[in-house]
Amino acid sequence: MRCAACREAFSPFHDGALEGAEAADVSAHIDGCAACRGEWEAYCRAMRLLAWGGGPTEPPGLAARVEQAWRATTPDRAEAPAGGARMRGLGVAVFLVAAAGAVVASRPWTPGQATSPRIADPSPRVPGPAPAEAPLEPTPAVPSEPGHTKKQTQEVLPDGRTRTVIEEDWVEGGVRHHSRSETVR
């Protein structure tokens, strides 16, 4: 094993995340290479420093402020499962497709006449205030470092929850990486 490969494996080796043979290779190389052994010892010291601290001292009164904050909220007791909104949306979509099919089937087809099914509006129009906008809120890519872009979009779902999508692109070791995370709250 080369020194560069050994040092690249320090992190997973430290966490016990290497497979048996690979871990054995790293261990044997450290044992036989004074330079890598020194690097490994320094690495371990750095990791111990990170794990050593007890964390910042909690400021006085934080407990009371935190309690005040959560007691001021109302728990969402609506037992809507995570897919509830999607299921309701799916149900509406199925209804609309069925309604469209019924409209198309009821119209006799005449050659040369374009059939453009008009989806019947399932709900009667009731005058009232305009529905609240659910705008997309894309944010411009925020480069966190050269070659690294991050983009976040937010969307308010019909049930009032917010879907946040974060996408990142970066280049590391000559390899392009992409990650995407989505949360719904």
Partner 1 sequence: MWDRPEVSTNETMPLPGASDDADDATLMSRAGAGDEGAFTAIVHRWRRRIYAFAVRLLGDTALAEDVAQETFARAYQACARWRPEARVSTWLFTIAKNAALDRTRKGSRAERSVSPAAGANTTGLLGRIPDGALTPCSSAQSVELEIAVEAALAGLPETYRLPVVLCSVEGMSYAEAAEVVGVNEKTLSTRLARGREMLREALKPHLGEAGR
Tell me the three state secondary structure of residue 103.
Answer: helix
Figure out which of the listed residues 115, 134, 144, 171 binds partner 1, where binding follows CB under 8 A. Answer: 144
137 contributes a contact to partner 1 by CB under 8 A: no
Least distance from partner 1 to the Cβ atom of residue 158, Å: 17
Tell me if 8 contacts partner 1 by CB under 8 A.
Answer: yes
DSSP state of 142: -
Closer by beta carbon to partner 1, 53 or else 127 = 53
- What is the distance between the alpha carbons of residues 43 and 36, in angstroms, rounded to a whole number? 10
Residues 50-109 that bind partner 1 (CB under 8 A): 50-59, 62-63, 65-80, 82
Yes or no: say if 88 and 95 are a contact pair by the CB < 8 Å rule.
no
For residues 63 and 120, which CB has a smaller minimum distance to partner 1 in the complex?
Answer: 63
Cα Rg, the chain, nearest whole Å: 29
Beta bridge partner(s), residue 170: 177
5 scored as a contact of partner 1 (CB under 8 A): no
Residue 84's alpha-carbon distances to 78, 81, 90, 160, in angstroms, are: 11, 5, 10, 12
Q: What is the spatial distance between Cα 145 and Cα 8, in angstroms, rounded to a whole number?
A: 22
Sign of the alpha-carbon torsion through 92, 94, 95, 99: positive
Stretch of 34-42, 87-95, 99-107, 118-126 lying at the interface with partner 1 (CB under 8 A): 34-42
Q: Which is nearer to partner 1, 83 or 122 (CB)?
A: 83
Interacting span for partner 1 (CB under 8 A) from 40-48, 85-93, 105-113, 128-136 = 40-48
Least separation in angstroms between CB 98 and partner 1: 31
Choose which of 86, 149, 155, 170 interacts with partner 1 (CB under 8 A).
170
